[in-house]
Chain A
């Protein structure tokens, strides 16, 4: 009889200890979150303005690098030769068959057209807009270089073609196309 009561006592006590431990553990986990989340991009970073760019002054064969969200963005007015080369490259020859265009579905094919499409579906094959960061380890590739009339990353020797697609070297993906749209025939807003 007494042992039974004691047993009930003990199990009630164990339950109390376990419940308290669990409450403490949950609270500690919740309390840690602000200390982790404070390192995520803050409201001012997230709200950073989109960047507007006027394409009109860019001459054929000329490229510029502008900054968007702290990253380099390559904007290039391609020559007819570059466009021609990019268009006739069969998809089968590409290392990465995905467009990597943030304005398109994630499985869009890496055709030249898909590389120059904006968020509204507008295509202007003269202007190629891409994030200038090598998809290998984050260096900035050099323009008008490499074996494919495009970009070449000097860090580890990745070659991109005139549509910014990876053709040779260690980089796994094509250069990313940032979200952008034409607000007029020659003005784009990135972001």
Chain B
């Protein structure tokens, strides 16, 4: 048993050491501000009200430039997400015009959105999106929280931070949105904005939120940081809509494996106690 404890300590250490550099990265960015989202940790869940507020911010502000192509309207009603009522989402969907279909005469038509439709993109294609945004493509946000990292610690700390705090994608989004600053030394760059959290500091997106951009139905005060936090949580859900199910099944699996392993250990001991080894 001692050997095995030693073995797995070594194993864990080796994994951590190896994973370390894989995450390390340079560039002089500022670490995202740490924030304890409700969905962090092995038992963390999304805060429904927060996801609903975040969806409102996305819908009313972000979606003017950004698509969210892997989210379908029905996802907004599914368990583990914002869990909006089906009828309400049907109405929201119907407000959108879905194009891309043709009628019997072969002419392109539009129709009101349905639950099964993906949330329509603001621009018909990449070129149009670039042309409308100073030649910078607003990225799709469906996976943005998983695709971005928030921490820039040295390689020998980073793996441990990431093991406990994750990649910091949601924190990055939150800090970025609320973190625009005046550039140091009054420097200016054509069509770019200064943001210490952005890799390279100069970002094409102008500050998307200023506070009071939306009116929350639940009475939460829409300050800049509140909106940024809510939309970061919403986008975290959009990146990992199955997170709650994953953690739930994970807990059952680990408990099961633990019990089974313990029984196997007893079986093994009872067998080996009879022989010299």
Contact = CB atoms under 8 A, between A and B. Distances in A.
A48 B116 contact: yes
Contacts of A19: 263
Interface stretch (A20-28, A96-104, A150-158): A20-28
A187 interface: no
Interface string A44-61: 100111000000000000
A64 to B, nearest CB: 10
A47 B263 contact: no
A144 to B, nearest CB: 21
A187 B257 CA distance: 56
Nearest to B266: A16
A184 B78 CA distance: 30
Question: What DSSP secondary structure best describes chain A's contact surface?
Answer: helix
A24 B257 CA distance: 9
A49 to B, nearest CB: 5
A24 B260 CA distance: 7
B74 A27 contact: no
B94 to A, nearest CB: 12
Contacts of B256: 27, 30
A49 B116 contact: yes
Interface size class of A (residues with CB under 8 A): 10 to 19
Interface string B171-205: 00000000000000000000000000000000000
Contacts of A30: 256
Given A23-B259, A27-B260, A49 B114 contact: yes
Nearest to A24: B260
A13 interface: yes
Interface string B87-126: 0000000000000000000000000001111000000000
A19 B257 CA distance: 14
B260 A47 contact: no
A23 B263 contact: yes
A47 B263 CA distance: 43
Interface string A37-75: 000000110011100000000000000000000000000
A16 B267 CA distance: 7
B264 interface: yes
Interface string B236-272: 0000000000000000000011011001101100100
A17 B269 CA distance: 12
Nearest to B75: A43
A44 B263 CA distance: 41
A17 B267 contact: yes
Contacts of B264: 20
Contact of B270 (A13, A24, A44, A49): A13
A20 B267 contact: yes
B270 A47 contact: no
Interface string B117-157: 10000000000000000000000000000000000000000
Nearest to B269: A16
A30 B266 CA distance: 23
21 contacts: A16-B263, A16-B267, A16-B270, A17-B267, A19-B263, A20-B263, A20-B267, A23-B259, A23-B263, A27-B257, A43-B74, A43-B78, A44-B72, A44-B116, A47-B72, A47-B74, A47-B115, A47-B116, A48-B116, A49-B116, A49-B117
7 closest cross-chain pairs (CB), A and B: A20-B263, A47-B116, A49-B116, A49-B114, A47-B74, A20-B267, A23-B260
